[in-house]
Chain A
Amino acid sequence: MSIKLDQVSLVHPNGHRAVGNVSFEIDSGERVAIIGPSGAGKTTLLRLLATALRPSAGEIRILGDDPWRVGRGVLRELRCRVGMVHQAPPIPPRQRVVTAVLAGRLGRWPLWKGLASLVYPVDIEGARQMLARMEIADKLFERCDRLSGGQLQRVGVARILYQQPDLLLTDEPVSAVDPALSDRVIGELNSEAIERGVTLVASLHAVDLALHWFPRIIGIRGGEIAFDLPPARVTDAMLKDLYASEAAVPTQTNAPLAMQPTGIRRKPMCS
């Protein structure tokens, strides 16, 4: 079992309930997309999984541990095995791309190695490989504030690939990346999860990307689970209902979802 949530709620200090009574389990090696309108609680849910937020109620187990009951040492061990890609990668603007990518493995490095890498990057080749998978190997020594939003998001993904965690969490990792590259980035994340047999949980704004790449779709609205199904069983009505607060079901190009003759939207390619 990779993730287990039991009646988990999160109430922000201002009284807003971002997540309410959510329960689900995700097995090791599963690939799950979380979709839902803005403000549905996607980011909060991922931050709960990343051990960034402590649930106000309910129980949460990540990779077999309850992160809020274990000691500091165990928690740090656990966090080494969890990687998160943020929608706006929190990377210092003046940092070089290579350093930002190598920072992914700081948890596993001894102190001296972390210090040495500040003076001269200790694994340039490793960083270059991960950036190549994101098609930005040429930006290796660029400063991060010289990158576009989409390029920075890909640096964030390269960092998590370099970290090699057992649980990959990504919060709208391609919101600023153009459609063709988005497909490539989500594809790389999926093949990473398949090759190493690790778990991937991704929140996505573009529903077509989610339906295309992930064998399991969790739709959330108002902090609660609306549905939890394989993509073939997610119907138009469910999506319309889920995105009732928005003008249309969001896709990469904002075109309506393509319907295949059998009524199945798209076959997941990697399941």
Chain B
Amino acid sequence: MRLVHWLVLAALLAVTWASFAFLSLDLGSLLTGEARAQMWKYVVSFFPPDMSAEYLVRIGHGTLETIAISAIGTAVAAVLGLALALPASGRFGAVPRAVARLILNFLRSIPDLVWAALMVMAAGLGPFAGTLALAWHTAGVIGRLFAETLENAPTEPAQALRLSGSRQSLAFLYGTLPNVVPQLVAYSLYRWEINIRMAAILGVVGAGGLGQMLYFSLSLFQQKQALTVIIAMLLLVVIVDGASAWLRRRLAD
């Protein structure tokens, strides 16, 4: 190893040590007997999960709410994303392209959790805020992907229709859209899969669904109920991942 490498290593170690000192973290206290006993007590307090019928009904309701938030949020985002992707792909000239790209970048650069916190303030606690939050952020992501798909789509079919007198809108619908629809659907499904996972935690800032149930039960020290929510989230994610992968494989051909 050269001297430079040693210096870099030394600098990294120094920075790490300085960070611990600055945040007054004492790793040693994690390993004391008392701390370990407390951690064990907390973990044990989660078991057994609350499997009472009454609570399972509430879990089912929360799960449906999470799925609905993500579905509507993604659907709204797909429509809004497509509406922004058309100008962003340069179909209406350079100025609308720049403006649409700016809007997409803005929507995308704010994380969905921050959008959720903002929407909770704007629309109040509950699933509506979560739906809006997902819609805004996903529109930014999906709009960018749609715009790139539209830019890479072959221009000849629409151009040929224009040359036989078709108006631009119909030339787009008959010549361009059929070429890009599978890609647009695949992107939307993929984002939906991500959004179901996201919707499950958005509730932590009060935006409805399973996340909100998790946040409440943890705040009220009801660890047994919290574990039920965590299990439900886990099952939901596993099922959705499998279903989405299967569906996208089917759509690919």
B158-181 contacts to A (CB < 8 Å): 159-167, 169-171, 173-176, 178-179, 181
The answer to whether A94 and B179 have CB atoms under 8 Å apart is yes
Residue on A nearest B153 in the bound complex, by CB: A92
Cβ 8 A contact of B173, one of A90, A108, A115: A115
The minimal Cβ–Cβ distance linking B252 to chain A, given in whole angstroms, is: 13
A136 contacts the other chain (CB 8 A)? no
Take A76-B165, A84-B164, A90-B154 as given contacts and tell me if A106 and B159 are in contact as well, using a CB distance cutoff of 8 Å: no
Q: Which range contains the number of B residues in contact with the other chain?
A: 20 to 34
B48 contacts the other chain (CB 8 A)? no
When distances are taken between beta carbons in the complex, the residues of chain B under 8 Å from A82 are: 163-165
When distances are taken between beta carbons in the complex, the residues of chain B under 8 Å from A235 are: none
The answer to whether B164 and A163 have CB atoms under 8 Å apart is yes
A67-107 contacts to B (CB < 8 Å): 76-84, 86, 90-95, 99, 103-104, 106-107
When distances are taken between beta carbons in the complex, the residues of chain B under 8 Å from A104 are: 164
The answer to whether B178 and A103 have CB atoms under 8 Å apart is no
Cβ 8 A contact of A106, one of B156, B171, B178: B171
A237 contacts the other chain (CB 8 A)? no
Q: Residue among A81, A91, A104, A106 with the most chain B CB within 10 A?
A: A106
When distances are taken between beta carbons in the complex, the residues of chain B under 8 Å from A115 are: 170, 173
The answer to whether A93 and B179 have CB atoms under 8 Å apart is yes
How many angstroms from the CA of A224 to the CA of B245 in the assembled complex? 57
The minimal Cβ–Cβ distance linking B59 to chain A, given in whole angstroms, is: 41
B111 contacts the other chain (CB 8 A)? no
Additional A-B contacts beyond A94-B178, A115-B170 (18; CB < 8 A) = A52-B163, A76-B167, A79-B164, A82-B163, A90-B175, A91-B157, A92-B157, A92-B174, A93-B179, A94-B179, A94-B181, A103-B161, A106-B164, A106-B174, A107-B165, A111-B167, A163-B164, A165-B164
A residues with CB within 8 A of B: 50-52, 76-84, 86, 90-95, 99, 103-104, 106-109, 111, 114-115, 118, 163, 165
B residues with CB within 8 A of A: 154, 156-157, 159-167, 169-171, 173-176, 178-179, 181-182
Ranked 10 nearest A-B pairs via Cβ? A107-B165, A80-B165, A92-B178, A90-B156, A106-B166, A79-B165, A114-B170, A90-B157, A90-B160, A92-B179
